Amino acid sequence: MEITQILDKVYVLNPGYVMRNDITRAVLATRDNSSYHSLDVNDVSTILHPAFAVLLSFFDGSRTLKDTLNEVSSYFNISFEGALKTVSKLIDNKSGVAVEYDGHFFYLPQNVLVEKKAERTECYSPGDFKIKTEVDLEHERLNKPIYASFLVSNRCVTDCIYCYADKRRIYDCTIPFQRILELIEEAKSIGIISFDIQGGELFLYKDWDKLLTALYGAGYSVYISTKYPLSAWEIERLKATGTKEIQISLDSIYGNDLMTNLKVGPGYRDRILKSIDLLDKAGIRIKIKGVITGPIFNLNKIEDYINYFDKYANVEVVELTAPSHSLYKTAAEFSYYRLSEEQLSALSELAEREKGRHHFELRTDIPSREEGLSDEEKKKSFYARSSCSGNMSSFMILPDGNVTYCEETYFNPNLMLGNILNSSIMDVWNSERARNLFYLPKSIFPKESPCATCREFEDCRYSKGICWVDVMAAYGEDKWLYPTPDCPYAPVPLNDIKVW
Ligand code: SF4
Ligand code: SF4
């Protein structure tokens, strides 16, 4: 499109992205609300030069591009054309953009600035991104975390054969509710973007409705995932909190399959299906997620399962998942519940055939097959891996107040960052313990771990990091200082942890 054609239009910072002042730089991240994903945003959190955050703060949707550029050029004391040249790269950009400013390089995701269709709910002013220190775009670990999760307990109503949770000891929530409210308040005040609840079963926590109300009140959109059959009055209680959507994890519509997969009693099937019925009638949007394991694999029954949800107007998504390795299950257990290659292919093909035939979106969550990669391809895929956000931008509060990396590292003492019972989130985040865990010195790595002598150590460990869960799953919990099995220098894993 011609530049002159767009000068009179109103462009806005994509409402799917939010920005934060991170003391020595700014951070741009995807908003905590899946409905914004329809705005074609990448799932990102990226560090940017504060000057760019200031520039983007002008795009609040209150004026045309021409007027915005006039303001930008007068604020930065640059020409109108100079401002236009910088900004035009960020308008409806279909892919990420690498940016250089003042000798610093950083990255901006796709569709940073889009034509205004709706109001932004969060606007900024240039003063929000004034920093008082030297700009630091090098260190990946954020000065202030942006993602928090809270594990209410590790207690469930089912005993799934593929369970990935650490249930060697059951923890119920022992954090006083008043302290939880203070944490939510602090999270909001330091700019935490999302505050998720993980389980364990949320509905077994006595204050679940008060917790939801407090999180919604602070502006967080909680994604609830449950296997708990909710009764009519519990659904009333849920609605009263303001809940609009829920994920029901249901692996089959057949009682015997559920008894096999979830080790539940014979009445569970009817109770959970009744619960879906009531949620649908209550107008709560529903996502159904099914883990299809080897022992219950039957293509006809999976088809029946998909068709079953046609009758529910509020079922919006049905997702079929292949079970993955659990750190807390034995190799024999994994080989019992995993899917064979033929089953994985058949499941993907069935989903492909069924897509578009239902009023809901049918999805699969099956990792792509990565066999026969050359050494060069393996390296490429390792360097292109996703970052581990644990202790870099996110943290997880356990039911006893201890803080760890993520919902999968659970109670592992090696990865504890601190405890929030008597310390603030920022005190834990800035503690020596948390910082030292991110910047683990090479000298503490045992000599049998290739990391101990790795020439790429700092680039790897102090940047994207590695998945601790994969390391421990592949080599054992005592080998947590080994490389991730995807690293080109990693020894052959002791355990087979691949889905395929
Ligand atoms: S995981 Fe691999 S690349 Fe990273 S430090 Fe260890 S050996 Fe080096
Ligand atoms: S340890 Fe693994 S599962 Fe946890 S945040 Fe890091 S990459 Fe994700």
By most ligand atoms within 8 Å of CB, the mutation choice from 326, 405, 417 for ligand 2 is 405
pLDDT band, very low/low/confident/very high, at 368 (cuts 50, 70, 90): confident
The three-state secondary structure class of 66 is helix
Q: Is the pLDDT assigned to residue 172 strictly greater than 90? A: yes
pLDDT digits (tens, 9 = 90+) for 119-160: 888 999 999 999 999 999 999 999 999 999 999 999 999 999
Q: Is the pLDDT assigned to residue 34 strictly greater than 60? A: no
Is 143's C-beta closer than 6 angstroms to any atom of ligand 1? Answer: no
Angle, CA 466 vertex, CA 464 and CA 469 arms, to 5°: 145
- The pLDDT, as a whole number, for residue 371 is 72
> Which pair of structure tokens corresponds to residue 1?
């499109």
User: What is the average pLDDT score of the chain?
Assistant: 94
pLDDT digits (tens, 9 = 90+) for 389-406: 999 999 999 999 999 999
pLDDT digits (tens, 9 = 90+) for 321-354: 999 999 899 989 999 999 999 999 999 999 999 9
Single-letter amino acid, residue 176: P
Q: Is the pLDDT assigned to residue 370 strictly greater than 90? A: no
CA of 448 to the centre of ligand 2 (A): 23
pLDDT band, very low/low/confident/very high, at 280 (cuts 50, 70, 90): very high
Compute, in degrees rounded to 10, the torsion defined by CA atoms 263, 265, 267, 272: -30
Single-letter amino acid, residue 423: S
Question: Mean pLDDT across the stretch 47-61?
Answer: 96
CA distances from 61 to 18, 122, 377, 427 (A): 14, 11, 44, 37
Is 223's C-beta closer than 6 angstroms to any atom of ligand 1? Answer: no
Question: Mean pLDDT across the stretch 2-23?
Answer: 90
- The pLDDT, as a whole number, for residue 119 is 82
Is 465's C-beta closer than 6 angstroms to any atom of ligand 1? Answer: no
pLDDT digits (tens, 9 = 90+) for 66-86: 999 999 999 999 999 999 999
Percentage of residues in the chain having pLDDT higher than 70:
98
- The pLDDT, as a whole number, for residue 320 is 97
Sign of the torsion angle spanned by Cα atoms 465, 469, 472, 478? positive
CA of 466 to the centre of ligand 1 (A): 8
pLDDT band, very low/low/confident/very high, at 1 (cuts 50, 70, 90): low
Question: Mean pLDDT across the stretch 358-371?
Answer: 88
Question: Mean pLDDT across the stretch 183-187?
Answer: 98
E-state strands within 50-186: 97-101, 104-108, 113-115, 147-151
pLDDT digits (tens, 9 = 90+) for 433-472: 999 999 999 999 999 999 999 999 999 999 999 999 999 9
